[in-house]
Structure formats: structure tokens, C-alpha cells
């Protein structure tokens, strides 16, 4: 009962939208490569469970991230087969944007790291240069008629590298001015706690007039606690992945995402509508585990504590 009361304490109740990222963040570190048909099977199961926004891949070099090969074709198949699903993908540079345009994608995530060392590993340049590049890409994507979500990686700090909140707020404002329709705050390193989430969300919400979403890594219970803290702070958009899959390849031990089925179950217990069938999500997680040849859920507490 106390958790239910806390979830509605903002006075801004209402449904949440979960963006499932199993096919992108969830798979990117997995050693067993899935076929295009295997990925499409997962997309079908997610859609049947009620998911209405799927991030189906990254438009990155498949030599660096082999699991992301064929993302454009997967975009085309999902858009054709699952017309009720909003399909999105992640791009990090101009080449990725060009691929998104050719695929016919209408919603695109463009992402930049605010931690300098992480940005150099992830994008090949420092955080300032990467932000400048992505700001230009946001404007170009908008000119192409795309709805753009701008992601701020390491918004809660990198792996041993603090990121001042004023830097996060300034970057969010810059990306919104360029045309971003949504700002995604990512706990890439899995270091944040609920109080950190509430503080940063409040500061960014006061600075920009677009919806915020959260991308949370870390041990299962803490990631779920951060998700509920974000809800209390007014966030209604959250990234999730079946079975808690995922994590950053450049931050070892960061932990996976909030599990789609666990997020749906927790919100249901609080009376928060998601439009999702928890049992169907559990079946989708079991199917994904069979495709990957391993159990999905890590033991509670595993991660970057």
C-alpha cells in the first residue's frame, strides 16, 4: 500500500509507455547471433503482448556489433508485418542517419555520451565534439520528417567519471532547440539510485518542455526502484528489455535493463495502466531464452554495486 501511495504522490497519475529494447540493447552483447527470422519472432511476440513501441536495432557497423547486422531489413519487416507497432532504431553518426533514411524509418533515436572517456570508446571522439555532431544530426533528421528522441548516455555519471547536472541540462536544452521531441536520460553505468533519478529528472523537466524517458541499467531491484522513482518524478516513458537483457559493451558490469515483464507486473500491482499482458511477456522472455540458449534473468543483486 505504501508503494502504491508513493507511486501516485506527484499528482500526475496515468498510464506509462514502455519502449522494449530487447532487439537492440538486449541483444548487442549476446554471443549467440540471432537470425533475422528469430528477431522477427521476438517482435511478433512483443506486439502480441501489447507493446506499441519497439527499438529493433542499431544502425552501426556490424563488424563492431555483429548482432546488429540487417537492422534496416528488420525495420522494413516489422513496419510491414506489425503496422500497429511504432518502430525505432538507434543511430550514432551521419552514416547511421543515412541508413535510417533509406530504411523508411519514421522514428529515430540519436544518442550521445556526456562522459568524455565513454564517448571516446563509444563514438571515437570526446563528449563535446560528439554533442555537436549529434545536434546537427537531430536537425537533419527533423528535416527528413523523422520524430527524434535524443539520448543522453551517462547522464548520471560514467564509470568513475562524474557528469555535472548542469552539463546534462545544457545538453538537453541544446538538443531540444535542434528539434528533439523527447529526451532520454540513460544510467549507462548503472550507478544511480532513486534520489539521483528524482533530482536529475526534476532539473531537466524544469529546463525543457518535451517528454522525458529513462533508460536504466543496474541490479534488478535497484533498477526497478529507479524506475518507480522516475514515475514519481513525472516520467511516463521507460526503456525495458525482456528478462533484463542488455548492458553497455563499454562499461563492464553495468548491469542489464529493467525487465519488460517485471516493469509491467510492478506497474500493474500499483494500478498503473501499461496495456501489456504480463503472462504473454513472460512467454516471450522464455522464447527469447531458448533462442539465446541461456536463462535471461540474472540473480538479484548482480550488477555494478
pLDDT of residue 300: 37
> Is 248 marked active-site?
yes
pLDDT of residue 161: 86
pLDDT of residue 4: 54
Q: Encode the chain (305 residues) as per-residue pLDDT tens digits.
A: 445 545 544 435 789 999 999 999 999 989 999 999 999 999 999 999 999 999 999 999 999 899 999 999 999 999 999 999 999 999 999 999 999 999 999 999 999 999 988 888 878 889 999 999 999 999 999 999 999 999 999 999 988 889 999 999 999 999 999 999 999 999 999 989 999 999 999 999 999 999 999 999 999 899 999 999 999 999 999 999 999 999 876 666 667 999 999 999 999 999 999 999 999 999 999 999 999 999 997 543 333 22
From 87, 125, 154, 248, the catalytic residue = 248
Q: Which residue has the cell 523508411?
A: 104
Burial class (CB in 10 A: 0-12, 13-18, 19+), 60: buried
Q: What is the DSSP annotation of the chain?
A: -HHHHHHTTTS-----EEEE-IIIIITTT-SSPPPHHHHHHHHHHHHHTT--EEEEEE-S-TTTSGGGTTHHHHHHHHHHH-TTSEEEEEE-SHHHHHHHHHHT-SEEEEEEESSHHHHHHHHSS-HHHHHHHHHHHHHHHHHTT-EEEEEEETTT--SS----HHHHHHHHHHHHHHT-SEEEEEETTS---HHHHHHHHHHHHHH-SS-EEEEEBSSHHHHHHHHHHHHHTT--EEEEBGGG----TTSTT---BPBHHHHHHHHHHTT------HHHHHHHHHHHHHHHTS--PPPTT-S--
pLDDT of residue 253: 61
Beta bridge partners of 149: 109, 182
Question: 211-245 pLDDT, tens per residue?
Answer: 999 999 999 899 999 999 999 999 999 999 999 99
Q: Which phi-psi region, left, alpha or beta, contains residue 275 (left: φ > 0; alpha: ψ -120 to 50)?
A: left
Q: Please tell me the distance from the alpha carbon of residue 247 to that of residue 257, in angstroms, as a whole number.
A: 7
pLDDT of residue 159: 80
State the pTM of this model: 0.92
pLDDT of residue 158: 87
Question: 50-83 pLDDT, tens per residue?
Answer: 999 999 999 999 998 999 999 999 999 999 999 9
Amino acid at each position: 500500500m505504501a508503494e502504491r501511495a508513493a507511486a501516485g504522490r506527484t499528482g500526475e497519475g496515468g498510464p506509462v509507455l514502455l519502449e522494449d529494447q530487447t532487439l537492440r540493447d538486449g541483444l548487442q552483447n549476446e554471443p549467440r547471433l540471432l537470425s533475422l527470422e528469430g528477431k522477427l519472432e521476438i517482435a511478433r511476440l512483443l506486439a502480441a503482448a501489447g507493446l506499441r513501441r519497439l527499438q529493433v536495432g542499431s544502425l552501426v557497423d556490424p563488424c563492431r556489433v555483429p548482432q546488429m547486422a540487417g537492422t534496416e531489413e528488420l525495420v522494413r519487416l516489422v513496419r510491414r508485418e506489425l503496422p500497429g507497432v511504432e518502430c525505432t532504431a538507434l543511430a550514432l553518426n551521419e552514416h547511421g542517419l543515412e541508413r535510417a533514411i533509406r530504411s523508411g524509418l519514421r522514428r529515430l533515436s540519436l544518442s550521445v555520451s556526456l562522459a568524455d572517456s565513454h564517448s571516446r570508446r563509444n563514438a571515437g571522439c570526446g563528449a563535446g565534439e560528439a554533442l555537436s555532431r549529434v545536434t546537427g544530426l537531430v536537425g537533419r533528421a527533423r528535416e527528413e520528417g523523422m520524430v527524434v528522441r535524443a539520448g543522453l548516455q551517462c547522464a548520471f555519471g560514467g564509470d568513475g567519471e562524474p557528469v555535472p547536472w548542469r552539463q546534462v541540462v545544457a545538453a538537453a536544452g541544446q538538443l531540444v532547440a535542434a528539434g528533439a521531441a523527447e529526451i532520454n536520460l540513460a544510467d549507462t553505468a548503472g550507478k544511480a539510485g532513486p534520489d539521483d533519478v528524482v533530482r536529475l529528472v526534476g532539473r531537466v523537466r524544469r529546463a525543457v518542455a518535451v517528454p522525458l524517458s529513462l533508460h536504466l541499467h543496474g541490479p534488478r531491484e535497484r533498477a526497478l526502484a529507479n524506475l518507480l522513482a522516475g514515475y514519481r518524478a513525472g516520467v511516463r516513458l521507460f526503456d525495458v528489455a525482456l528478462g533484463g537483457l542488455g548492458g553497455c559493451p563499454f562499461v563492464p558490469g553495468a548491469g542489464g535493463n529493467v525487465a519488460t515483464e517485471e516493469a509491467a507486473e510492478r506497474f500493474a500491482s500499483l494500478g498503473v495502466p501499461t496495456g501489456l499482458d504480463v503472462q504473454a511477456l513472460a512467454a516471450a522472455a522464455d522464447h527469447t531464452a531458448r533462442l539465446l540458449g541461456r536463462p535471461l534473468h540474472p540473480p538479484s543483486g548482480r550488477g555494478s554495486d
